[in-house]
Structure 1
Amino acid sequence: MARKRGLGRDDVVTAGLAVLDHAGIDAVSLAAVAERLDVRPPSLYAHVDGLAGLKRDLAHTTTVEFGEVLRDSVLGRSGPDAVRSFADAYRRWATGFPGRYEMTLLPIAADDDERRAGARLALGAVQAVIRGFGIDETSAIQAGRSLRSALDGFSRLENADNMGRGDHDADFAFLIDLLIDGISQAGTQPPGPA
């Protein structure tokens, strides 16, 4: 293998994302990234702190990317329109990039401020969606958790090809309508326990 000139951290992360997209989270290794870059694995240590550092960089990149997609999906929207736009963006990204999506679900280390900031983008998008329904804080937290759980479950089932036959788009629209109805009703009910 010839030594690549000008190889940098961004190149290593980009190659890691390509491995993640092509083969999934379990396939990410220094050897796989080095092969994609046509270099020897030890040369990657100049750019990332081993496999743990590579995975941390990938988790940061994917978390920020997903957060930006979700944030952008709700800009200028409110109420049911915001829920639908958020849900569509969530599903499209999670099923379009299943490896990246799985990476965003890894636990965030206590000292990983960069990744935590990326996660706040996604949380802010969820809060913006729910805020448009004018419900109390406890119900808003419950609604946000319910929305995320439903979208995560649907996306994971689709990614695992466990949805069975039928019109998955119609199934998804039905799910979103149920969520919108539930969130709307939360504003008319007394707050539930925290």
Structure 2
Amino acid sequence: MGRPTKEKSLTSRDVVDAAIACLDREGESALGVNRVARELGIKPPAIYKHLDGNTGLRRAVALTIWRDYLADCQCQTAGVTEFKPLFLLSARATRNFAKAYPARYQVMMEYQLRPSDAEEAEIIQHSLGLFQAAMQLSTLNRDAIVDTMRMVNAAIFGFITRERSELMTINRDPDASYEVMLAALIVAIEYIRQDTPAIEIAACDATRTQTVPYPTG
């Protein structure tokens, strides 16, 4: 990664990029102003000109990771409109992201997006839109949408969490188990879609539940 030659040339993006580089190499413990300053070859006060200490650094990194994750999901599902393949691609993309970037996934998961914050609300809306597209839930009532989100989030997040914690000790391929789980979720989603009265709702109403695609809910 290229480093600014002078502190005055430093940008917020430089700081975030350096933080993510540290995160990828050393894990979540490296996500701090002092460590990132050493990475950039500058003094810590220079970072405070761009971000509000460790709290601001973590927020900026988490939002960047969220945007990267959503862009990756959108890229992998581009042009797919049918429910089953779209759901499968989205769910696989989430697990693949968690496996490729475990520390990024952890930071993203631990940061609670706030609808009251404009930047974070935009990410919530984007992620909610992708979730509803993958689930094709736009004609369900609010309770059915929330139930579906919570079910899918709990299953996928729970699977990824157990896998990352190396708790899957029985001799069975996790990939095979994941696919079985996704197939079962498809059946459950179709059941909810068929058993629920169709009521058009505004997407903004559903954001009040603070449920976003697969990582939270």
TM-score calculated relative to the size of structure 2: 0.77
Give the distance between the partners of 2:149 and 2:20, measured in 1 at CA: 29
Alignment RMSD: 2.3
Q: CA deviation at 1:27?
A: 2.9
CA distance in 1, matches of 2:28, 2:117: 20
1:182 CA drift (Å): 0.9
Do residues 102 (structure 1) and 106 (structure 2) align?
yes
Contact 1:66 1:93 in 2 (8 A): yes
Unaligned runs of 5+ in 1: none
Map of 1:185 onto structure 2? 191
Classify 1:7/1:138 alpha carbon distance in 2 versus 1 (closer, same or farther; 3 Å): same
| Aligned partners of 1:71 and 1:121 also within 8 Å | no
Contact persistence 1:16–1:28 (CA under 8 A): yes
Q: CA deviation at 1:134?
A: 6.4
Change beyond 3 A, Cα 1:110–1:85: closer
Matching residue's letter, 2:108 = T
Q: Displacement of 1:174 after TM fit?
A: 0.7
1:128 aligns with 2:129: no
Secondary structure, in 3 states, of the residue corresponding to 1:48? coil
Match in the other structure for 1:66: 69
Identity within the alignment, %: 26
Deviation for aligned residue 1:25: 2.6
Find out whether 1:153 has 2:158 as its counterpart: yes
Please show how residues 2-151 of structure 1 align to structure 2 within 5 Å: 4-5=5-6, 6-75=9-78, 76-105=80-109, 106-109=111-114, 111-131=116-136, 136-151=141-156
- Once the two structures are TM-superposed, the CA of residue 117 in structure 1 deviates from its matched residue by 1.0
| Equivalent position amino acid for 2:68 in 1 | E
Contact 1:64 1:119 in 2 (8 A): no
